[in-house]
Amino acid sequence: MKKFTPYILWFVAGAILGFIADNLLGALWIQLGWRQPIANWLASHGFSALASYWGLVWIRLPVWIIAAIVGICGGIFIRRQPIPSLLIFGIGFVVMPVVATAIAGFSPTVFGLGVWFKATMWDCISIVLLLAFAFLGFRFREHKKHAA
């Protein structure tokens, strides 16, 4: 059990941060109201397909930014086995908002399994960003070590 304790802590940390990012910061982010003016500008310049995707990107943007920041910090500061630790963090980061929504009584499949699957794929971009920015953080750490 002692061997798995760090991974359990990474999962719990990812779940807590995922819940905060998705449910609390996401609601504040949407209230800013910047989505519609940018979508209107894109549509008026002939980018109607891009304007429709802008809404999805806008909704997920704060979660992706937090995943990128955690990835950079993880790449810089985690010394032993950063990839498994951050991967487990990312799974908790993605799974917890879905679980919290289900506990609140809203079925994730209410709009159909296809819509739920697509939304889950947009959420999984967080894990990819987390690992990509962890690699950048690791490269930054190695560059600073060799420069000194």
Look at residue 33 and tell me whether its pLDDT is greater than 80: no
- Summarised one tens digit per residue, pLDDT across range 42-89 is 889 888 888 888 888 888 888 999 999 999 999 999 888 888 899 999
pLDDT for the residue 99: 84
Q: Please write down the HEC assignment for all residues of 93-122.
A: HHHHHHHHHHHCCCCCCCCCHHHHHHHHHH
* Residue 148 pLDDT grade (very low, low, confident, very high; cuts 50, 70, 90): low
Q: Residue 92 carries which side chain, given as an amino acid letter?
A: G
pTM, rounded to two decimals: 0.84
